[in-house]
Amino acid sequence: MEQQQGDKSECELAGEPAREILFERHASDGVSWAEITLNRPDKGNALTLPMLARLGEIADELRGDRQTRAVVLRAEGRFFCTGGDIDAWSRLSPHDMGRDWILRGIDVFERIASLPQPVIAAISGHALGGGLELAMAADLRIAVKQAKLGNPEVTLGMIPGWMGTRRLAEMIGPARARHLVLLGAPIGAAQAADWGLVTALAEDAADLEVQLAGWLDRLLANGPSAMALIKGLLATMHADLRAHHASAVAQAAASEDCREGVRAFAEKRTPVYRNR
């Protein structure tokens, strides 16, 4: 997949969170995708409140961006993310912890999870605690074989705070979720793939880039409104979805993209989607 590097976000010069959360857009064959990079490698990319706030701002910006078709979440350094910065949350009172740390983090991760664009977590290093919770907010996860994933919070007398326990149970089942959160011991990427916690394995960083490029090619060629509707359906998987499915199918059928897709199929050509 050929790409051109887009302009860096204007906030990259705006202060510490902008340096620790990098945001770029890239163009490929006339459509664009976004890249969010955790850039605090000296601290294992541990998350602070300003970093969470910046992630939330980016998610809000992407939500209304009809030109951006996919989002990649990745990190610099040896770790994908080691979770919440212990120095940041350990000084908070229980009340402030719940209000200022947990609820804000849950809100930010939900804004990422509910983006209309597919989100890929490119896990090039260990994803632990809140770092794994962040990766689970993505739709697709690819990890290098050397990565470890887990929720070690119980080893600190803490619990996964950003909806990690529930997301784990939804993704890999309650029994395996108990294994991770009660033992507090991480598992290797191969075991995580076997359990369904990650959806693909990469041999190394170079292979991760190759597979990631292939995924982006596929996503950028798909109907964006259809993918957004599918994400909405999956988000309500525990509800009675009969009416929701009917409404979603009707919305898809009424879209210009759907009509273009049908025409292209009949004309045996590649569809050109306009996200309308």
* Confidence band, pLDDT 50/70/90 cuts, at residue 239: low
In a shared domain, residues 112 and 49: yes
Beta bridge partners of 23: 36
CATH of the domain at 197: 3.90.226.10
In a shared domain, residues 102 and 228: no
For 52, 204, 212, 230, the CA distances from 124, given in Å and listed in that order, are: 20, 8, 11, 27
* Confidence band, pLDDT 50/70/90 cuts, at residue 260: confident
In a shared domain, residues 165 and 240: no
Which of the residue ranges 32-41, 79-88, 207-216 would you say has the lowest mean pLDDT? 79-88
In a shared domain, residues 149 and 232: no
In this predicted model, what pLDDT tens digit does every residue of 187-204 receive, in sequence order? Answer: 999 999 999 999 999 999
In a shared domain, residues 172 and 113: yes
Taken in order 12, 13, 18, 19, is the CA torsion positive or negative?
positive
Task: Quote the pLDDT of residue 269.
Answer: 92
Distance CA 171, CA 158 (A): 22
Task: Quote the pLDDT of residue 141.
Answer: 98
180: in domain: yes
In a shared domain, residues 208 and 232: no
Q: How big is the chain by its Cα radius of gyration, in Å?
A: 19
pLDDT at 18 > cutoff 80:
no
* Confidence band, pLDDT 50/70/90 cuts, at residue 4: very low
In a shared domain, residues 23 and 152: yes
DSSP summary character for residue 235: H
pLDDT at 221 > cutoff 70:
yes
Distance CA 186, CA 135 (A): 15
In a shared domain, residues 190 and 231: no
166: in domain: yes
SS3 of residue 262 by DSSP: helix
- Got the DSSP string for 72-135? EEEESSSEEE--B-HHHHTTS-HHHIIIIIIHHHHHHHHHHHT-SS-EEEEE-SEEETHHHHHH
In a shared domain, residues 254 and 167: no
pLDDT at 3 > cutoff 50:
no
pLDDT at 223 > cutoff 90:
yes
Domain of residue 47 covers 4-221
Distance CA 274, CA 98 (A): 42
In a shared domain, residues 60 and 146: yes
* Confidence band, pLDDT 50/70/90 cuts, at residue 249: low
In a shared domain, residues 143 and 230: no
Number of domains in the chain: 2
Task: Quote the pLDDT of residue 2.
Answer: 42
* Confidence band, pLDDT 50/70/90 cuts, at residue 246: low
Mean pLDDT computed over 7-20: 55
Tokens of 74: 């990745």
How many of the other CB atoms lie within 10 Å of CB of 201?
Answer: 19
pLDDT at 241 > cutoff 60:
no
* Confidence band, pLDDT 50/70/90 cuts, at residue 238: low
Look over the chain and give the mean of its residue pLDDT values, rounded to a whole number.
Answer: 88
Catalytic residues: 133, 153
Q: Is 75 exposed, middle or buried (0-12, 13-18, 19+ CB in 10 A)?
A: buried
